[in-house]
Structure 1
Amino acid sequence: MAAAFGRANPVGFTAWHVPAVMDRALHTWMRGLPELRTNGDLASRPGVNPPFAPFGITGDDAVGVAAAVAPAEVLAYADAVYAAAMQLIDSLDDAALDRVPDTRSHGTRLPQHQTPGLPRRGRRHVRHAGVEAARRAVLRPRARARRRDQGELAGAAFARVARG
């Protein structure tokens, strides 16, 4: 998974980077918990758990992650992060989904997440804002649909019990 072209990151790095950033945001920034990759079986997988944050790294580090991560490992990691995300999202109401987090508090509460030298603005962060908007567009309707479906199932079960 280490092949790269031009100045882009290798595909293996990107395959790891996507769930790693989601893991970091979901667990550390939103909930103040350690990342999934630092616990249990994932912690022992060097390709999944390199000793740095999933952003602001050098090109050489990105190539190193791509060379170290196996497709099965990154898929297992992505599945674990996705399952945790769905569990969290299913537990949120509409007001919580609409809340905009105070990103300044992330930096003060968890200072280790401020990567030295990482620019706070620029083209890369603008592109990532588009990813965030797409993520919201996909996940919010899913969470609402799950809650609606669960309510319909509960209503149907209640109706069966009421009918005797």
Structure 2
Amino acid sequence: MLFPDKYTSSYFGELDLNALESWHEAEIELHGRAVEIALTFMSEDRKTTRGALAKIDEFLDGFALKIKQIESVLAKDYRSGRTVKQYIDFLTEEIDEEEIMEVMPNYEADASIEDNIFRHIHLLSAVFYPEAGENIFAILDYSISKELTDELLVARLKTDNSLDILIES
């Protein structure tokens, strides 16, 4: 018989480490927008430690600052013409400009459509992977509008704090 082993997260509530569900979700606010946050367990036995969960809570405690740092990497990637620029180019090629402009309330007429899109891309969700052995800490999904496109700009934060930037649908 297993003894109760619980962790109380400031964001996900009480978690029984002996009986974790595969998915735990909550919501957090960032810059006036709701962002879905989740814990996911990929393996059948769904094992983690208090330390791994505490690290996620710590990340979420400083969420705005952490996201600002990640978004600064996204901005550098955009200016370098890499993945973020490719994502924006995809949007401008596949979606009518009028539709894009409808989801950009603060459109700057003196800036390019691409720069306007970049300024309006925002975080939709952050999914954390607290299982031992995972080299992914979190996957952050960005978009200009989830109603406008299924294509996401994804920032994959690894446990070593490196960041991969991808486009996914």
With structure 2 as the length reference, what TM-score do the two structures score?
0.25
With structure 1 as the length reference, what TM-score do the two structures score?
0.26
More strand by share: 2
Higher relative contact order (CA 8 A, sep 6+): 1
More helix by share: 1
